[in-house]
Structure 1
Amino acid sequence: MMIRPSRTVRFLAAALSAGALLATAACSGGGDEETRSAGVAASPKESRAAAPAARQTSTPAGDLTEEGARAALITEADIEDDWTRVDGAEKWRDSLLIGDVDVDDFVTAEADAADCQRLLDGLYSEELLGKPSGAVALTGFAQGDSRLLYQVAAYDRADLDDAMNWLESLPEKCDQFTATAAGGEERTVQVVEYELPDEGDERQGLEVTVQGTADGSPATLTLDIGVVRVGADAITVTAGGLNGGEKDSVEAAVQQGTERLKDVLAGRTPPASPTS
């Protein structure tokens, strides 16, 4: 069943010490921060930056370039609160997302189970919309024990349309299911929809919770996800951790990030400060 929770709840899972219930591996190039906890794997199938200054005319409008994708990334000011940009976000992985979906949980069996497996694998690999066909840029932020991952990328338009339709179907297809980890642990996964700000050409908000164990203790990973399509390009935001989701920050990232991407595609340099 599809439900809509409140928009006020506060990505990727936090890098905690061994006794603090996190199953994330985070790596920071600048500060050499790297944290590992039980079960983090290199493959999801097996045991599975800063903005330019003032607004001005820059490159001509056209397809998203690597430079443009980097310029379209949000900054700490765009999401406020106590978020701090960290390096190495592309290496974040959470072992609670690793597992094989139990087909028996689904009325239509293999078809829906495959969609839910794709969801878990996409969140783990940070390619929720599939592999980009063009420019891509990614940045990450930390706030306490929470993580926020922000990505801007260019896609094949037909593939992107298919991916957006797939995301829209997940709250119904993947309402609740079981995923079994390599060691036999069963994890309960729930997917619900929530409304994003009216940005871009198309958008989808999802909250994914995974109930399992971390470091031998019960743990629930909550990830709030926001995806916005602008033409053949898309913004993907994932934020949360073992202490809950981060809807407010996802919404702020979507609002500010969409404007930044539009500026870049129009040949303008995004402003250094967030728009109102």
Structure 2
Amino acid sequence: MLAAALAAGTLFATAACSDGDGDSASTGSGVAAKPVAERTTASPTKPVAKPLTPAGARTALITEGDLEDDWTQVKSAASWQDKLLIGKVDASQFLTAKTQAPADCQRLLDGLYDDDLLGRPSGASALTGFTEGNSRLLYQVGAYQRAALGKSLDWLESLPTTCDQFNAVAPDGSTRSVQVIEASLPKAGDTRQGVTVTVQGASGGSPVTLTLDVAAVRVGDDAITVTNGGLDGADHDSTEDAVSHGTTRLKDVREGRTPAPEPSEFD
């Protein structure tokens, strides 16, 4: 009898605790839970990217303030075409398994010469150039078809393997040797790819070596392209400056902001 009374008392006490206020941690149906929506902090709204306009493309171009050292902005960049890049790829040196290689390598030389490495933009575009001694830095911004842009970046990524070493025959019949190696870039944009291209040949009867950093960064459907170097080599730091600061400027323009006149780390 005593044991039964004690058990009944315990059950009564447990029931009394379960009938407390609505803040109880109990998951029973009699307890009101605070709605999840009231406990969740709303995430900030992501800026909507705007289509790149001709004015926006010009605003997204880097300036002298985005580059360290003594780069000088010029107006003649649209006419830059290095004759050392003119040549017909020698297909005989490639293995049978690399049947696509000659076309890929030819596309590289032609794209560097014509300044359309990623193909012709499908929308607005702009370019500018800078000189420092014997070096040139060409910077381009353009709107592209997303699928075509993705294929161009995949092609650029494949070049250090497909076109690591090849020869090209110059218009005068001489042979130029070309080397392509992968180059690291700052983590910028949605995707990015960089290579360094070295062309050894002759100019004015003397042996010369042209070295170019090549970088491309996709930001949505838009992209920036950097070609930097010359007969004195390529300044990789300047390439990285152009990539990191140029990507920031393009993002600002796409999101309706005015790019800063000069990067804060240069202050």
TM-score w.r.t. the length of structure 1 is 0.77
Confirm or deny: 8 A CA contact 1:103 1:109 kept in the other structure: no
Q: Secondary structure at the match of 2:120?
A: coil
Structure 2: distance between partners of 1:217 and 1:61: 50
Equivalence for 1:57: none
Structure 2: distance between partners of 1:250 and 1:272: 19
Amino acid at match of 1:146: S
Alignment pair present for 1:229 and 2:238: no
Amino acid at match of 2:155: W
Amino acid at match of 2:166: F
TM-score w.r.t. the length of structure 2 is 0.80
Shift of 1:245: 1.0
Equivalence for 1:197: 186
RMSD: 1.0
Higher relative contact order (CA 8 A, sep 6+): 1
Structure 2: distance between partners of 1:237 and 1:213: 25
Spell out the pairing of 1:54-203 with structure 2 (5 A cutoff).
Answer: 61-107=49-95, 108-203=97-192
Q: Secondary structure at the match of 1:67?
A: helix
Q: For this pair of structures, how many residues does the alignment match?
A: 217
Runs of 5+ consecutive residues of structure 2 not aligned to the other structure: 1-47
Structure 1: distance between partners of 2:162 and 2:235: 24
Normalized per residue, the structure richer in helix is 2
Structure 1: distance between partners of 2:264 and 2:52: 21
Deviations along 1:47-81, whole A, 9 cap, x unmatched?
xxxxxxxxxxxxx8510111000000001110110
Q: CA separation of 1:61/1:166 partners in 2, compared to 1, >3 Å: closer, same or farther?
A: closer
After superposing on structure 2, the runs of 4+ consecutive aligned residues of structure 1 that deviate more than 6 Å are none
Equivalence for 1:244: 233
Amino acid at match of 1:122: G
Structure 1: distance between partners of 2:254 and 2:232: 36
Q: Which has the larger radius of gyration?
A: 2
Shift of 1:109: 4.4
